[in-house]
Amino acid sequence: MYVKRAFDVIVSIIGMLILLIPFLFIAIFIMVDSRGSVFYRQTRVGRNRVNFELLKFRTMYVNSDKAGLLTVGDHDKRITRIGYWLRKYKIDELPQLVNVLKGDMSFVGPRPEVHKYVALYNAQQEMVLSVKPGITDWASIAYSDENELLARSDDPENFYINEVIPSKIMQNLKYINKHDIWVDLTIIFLTLKKIMIR
């Protein structure tokens, strides 16, 4: 646990220092592309059901989330032009380095969900809340094309609840039962590989 936390703190600090200038350019692109804040904050459920504000670069038009929490397809009309590219290469997730440094999240761990979907978990599925959530996990790799899967479904919301969430949690429980720093490094490597392939 101490090794994992030390890794999170050191790498998140180094990452933010290296990405400071790119972050400034991304912020400018977002502001020029559409009105609204550079960042998007959303309440997620963390370890032991403790709420925290997850931070992302804003990729949708302001108040678009009121039309639904799920984005369907890579070209959802609510997504801005720069937002499409930020999402495609997962750049929108990079501000979560702040969440990692604060201790809300880790680099690797089950992706945190919103209350709406956590409320549907059964007793076994709630085990994913026993560990700190992460920026990436096995499920993130397996469902790197999640938006497109939802787009091919006749009922994206139902498909997400009954197919995607249970499958993701199975992957998360697998991680909880067997993980160490080497597993974490493997997941990070495979995540970066998946992004580069995109």
pLDDT digits (tens, 9 = 90+) for 91-138: 999 999 999 999 999 999 999 999 999 999 999 999 999 999 999 999
Token couple for 150: 């939802």
Look-up: residue for tokens 């440094």?
A: 101
Instruction: List, for residues 146-155, the tens digit of each pLDDT value.
Output: 888 888 888 9
C-alpha distances in Å from residue 185, one per residue of 109, 132, 141, 168? 12, 16, 13, 19
DSSP bridge partners of 57: 39
* Amino acid at the residue 181: I
Mean pLDDT per 10-residue section of the chain, whose length is 198 residues: 92 97 97 95 97 97 80 79 93 97 97 96 96 97 89 89 95 94 96 88
Q: Global pTM?
A: 0.92
User: Which residues does 23 contact at the CB level (< 8 Å), separation at least 6?
Assistant: 94, 95
**Phi and psi at residue 46, to the nearest 5°:** -100, -160
